[in-house]
Amino acid sequence: MKLLKFNLIFIPFLALCLGTVGYIAREMLLRDAREHVIQNARIIMETMLSSRTYTTKQVAPLLQQKNFKLQTAIAEFRKTMAEIPKAPDLAAAKDIKGNAKKSFLLGQQQALDAEQQFLVSVKGRPEELLDNEFHPQSVPAFAATEIFGYLREKFPDYFYKESTLNPTNPRNRATDWESDVVNQFRAGSTLAEFIGTREASTGTTLFLARPIKVNNVSCLECHSTPDKAPAEMIKLYGGDNGFGWKLDDVIGAQIVSVPVSVPVRMAENAFRVIIAWLAGAFGGILLVANIAVAIVARSRP
Ligand code: HEC
């Protein structure tokens, strides 16, 4: 009778403990998994920002520097060309007499003519050395997207996009849900970051978004009106898209998507193991407590 009373109190108490501990453990594990996913997304975001900085600070100046050096060399070449005499030097021939003087001057004239011919033939050539092509590789958005493309070959469930409402390159155009994210940034322009989850074809994904702002007048050189942009860029991209941006406008968002299924599955597994051990431990406690109560009850009639 005593044992029954004891169990009527003790079993619900143990069940309550198991439920509470289980609930807290599950919440903690899932929160950790989510934090882990967010951390992953942040690392990817920072990597992409680094690749953008690298492009701005190292690749673009390299191309400019190369052309600058060539321009200097060409200018010097032109100067040297201009300094080459066109007629024989009469002063040098002043001490030579008779036929010898004539042959000397003729010889000099022929040499100068040959030189002139050579100069005419190479006249336009130095400019051909100049690299006037537009290289998207020096554009930060292009570099980041391409670099992530290589990463995706190994991690196809991960995703990065410079999602833009009116992009220069159509592959950067914001899809419907991405437009919603961009518009949220446009509406509340103080928001520095936005985290959300969505169901993608590959399963549940978490996305981390940051606004892309036209934060420098230099952007307007290529994104304000087609006539201001480099002609070679227009040749490559046309003059219809990626223009009309204004200073301080939020025109898009960097969006990193990472899958959540794997960390969540790991958290669920860990939870199951913890619950199994706890249930075992509580079962043991119940057994020992029952034995103890039975012994005490028998020794005190
Ligand atoms: C030298 C010209 C040039 C300058 C300067 C420039 N961009 Fe771009 N930008 C481009 C080109 C070209 C592309 C398309 C690249 C590609 O093919 O992915 C582009 C693409 C982008 C994209 C991706 C969306 C799209 O339009 O395809 C963003 C975002 C962007 N630029 C933002 C900026 C910002 C912000 C600045 C100023 C800090 C800037 N750009 C300065 C030429 C430029």
Summarize pLDDT for 34-62 with one digit per residue, the tens: 999 999 999 999 999 999 999 999 998 99
Residue type, position 300, single letter: R
Return the best residue to mutate from 52, 132, 135, 139 for the ligand 1 pocket (most ligand atoms within 8 A of CB).
139
Rounded to an integer, what distance in angstroms lies between the CA atom of residue 20 and that of residue 274?
13
- Assigned token pair, 26: 């599950």
Closest CA to 250 of 214, 281, 295, 277: 214
Residue with CA nearest ligand 1 atom 23: 141
Residue with CA nearest ligand 1 atom 12: 136
CA of 42 to the centre of ligand 1 (A): 22
- Give the pocket of ligand 1 (CB within 6 Å): 136, 139, 141-142, 145, 162, 164, 167-169, 172, 212, 214, 216, 218-219, 221-223, 233, 237, 242, 252
Residue 301 has pLDDT above 70, yes or no: no
Rounded to an integer, what distance in angstroms lies between the CA atom of residue 1 and that of residue 50?
73
pLDDT band at 280 (very low <50, low <70, confident <90, very high): very high
Cα dihedral sign for 95, 97, 101, 103? negative
- Ligand 1 atom closest to the CA of 213, numbered from 1: 35
Q: What torsion, rounded to 10 degrees, do the Cα atoms 153, 159, 164, 165 define?
A: 110
Residue 189 has pLDDT above 70, yes or no: no
Rounded to an integer, what distance in angstroms lies between the CA atom of residue 44 and that of residue 218?
26
CA of 64 to the centre of ligand 1 (A): 17
Interval 215-230: pLDDT, tens: 999 999 999 999 999 9
140-149, 242-251, 289-298: least confidently modelled range: 289-298
- Ligand 1 atom closest to the CA of 142, numbered from 1: 18
Residue type, position 106, single letter: L
Q: Write down the pLDDT at residue 186.
A: 93
Instruction: Tally Cβ neighbours within 10 Å of residue 209.
Output: 25
